[in-house]
Amino acid sequence: MNRDELQHALQDFHGLGNIEKLDSDDALRVTEQPRLVSRFYDAVTSFYEFGWGATFHFSPRRPGENLRSSQQRHEEGIAKLLRIGPKMIVADVGCGVGGPLITIGRSTGAKIVGINFNAYQIQRGEKLIDQAGLGDSCSFLYADFMDVPLKDGTFDALYSFEAICHAPDRKRTFCELFRLLKPGAEAAFIDWTLTDKFDASNTSHVQIRAQIERNNATPDLLSADEYVAAVESAGFEVVEKLDQQVVVGDPSTPWYMALEGRDFSISSAARTPVGRSFTAVLTRILERLKLAPKGTSETSRILNAAADSLTEAGKLGIFTPSFLVHARKPS
């Protein structure tokens, strides 16, 4: 993406606020929200890659485990859960730039198809696949995952890491994914949900939720029960449902520690209070010198606000990024 394209994406991103304006019109939301989410990722993908590498999801952490190690263990664990192996054709729904796709493709020998509605991320992902030597087994499909141009029963399994929360119609999304699976095949959905501790009558909880939704392009977050109901409404049999952060994670290494700059790395240092201040000053200077697109510093500020609201929600226990639904399409 060149400088002018990024600037247009940044301008679109700052016009989203934004995306919750679509809530009053269901038909418009279904048609427009995917496009707006794509523009969001045009704007933030470079920031995400700097802070997270090629993998844009949280993971249950173990003591002494760094962010990338936890992500890789999480991804390989999902592959084992679904019994993914050679000769299988598997979908990675909302695959980002392909970090999990590469990990799972390399560890299992399966053919992985990453479904993504963002052309820039696909462009980045294709380069990463080539660098990993997986060009013969891993690929991308540019498509809205509510309407995928593939025949019924294409996939032997599918998974999604923290992506369906962006969909404007979850039931429609799960119905489409149900269609794409072979009878008897299984799926793993790991996603953002509100927990039982979320209190809709608590003004603070509601405000934090609104900040998460607005700054992460994830409008209308579901509760865990609502999420499970949406999966079941598509025809899936739910094999297992759990908040991995509670069941698998360790309380001494909470998922949001990465957002607080508590990982020992250069990218993590940028998330500390000092690092954030430095980044804010630097991006403003680069904009003035026209070395960075207009809107870069504002994007950085919004992502910091997003990190703050996620951290606050994590500390209160009202939100999880790792709710797992393991489901099966009946035979």
Q: Is the pLDDT of residue 34 over 60?
A: yes
Q: Is the pLDDT of residue 217 over 80?
A: yes
Identify which has the larger pLDDT, 195 or 253.
195
Work out the widest C-alpha separation in the chain, in whole angstroms. Answer: 61
How much is the pLDDT for 66?
A: 85
The model's pTM:
0.86
Number of alpha helices (DSSP H) and beta strands (DSSP E) in the chain: 12, 7
Structural contact between residues 255 and 314, judged by C-beta atoms closer than 8 angstroms: yes
How much is the pLDDT for 286?
A: 53
Most confident of 13-17, 55-59, 205-209: 205-209
Nearest to 61 by CA among 53, 69, 52: 69
C-alpha to C-alpha distance for 196 and 46, rounded to whole angstroms: 34
pLDDT tens across 274-289, in order? 555 645 555 555 556 5
Q: Which two tokens stand for residue 102?
A: 């590469």
Q: Is the pLDDT of residue 212 over 90?
A: yes
- Please provide the DSSP assignment of 264-314 as one string: SSHHHHTTSHHHHHHHHHHHHHHHHTTSS-TTHHHHHHHHHHHHHHHHHHH
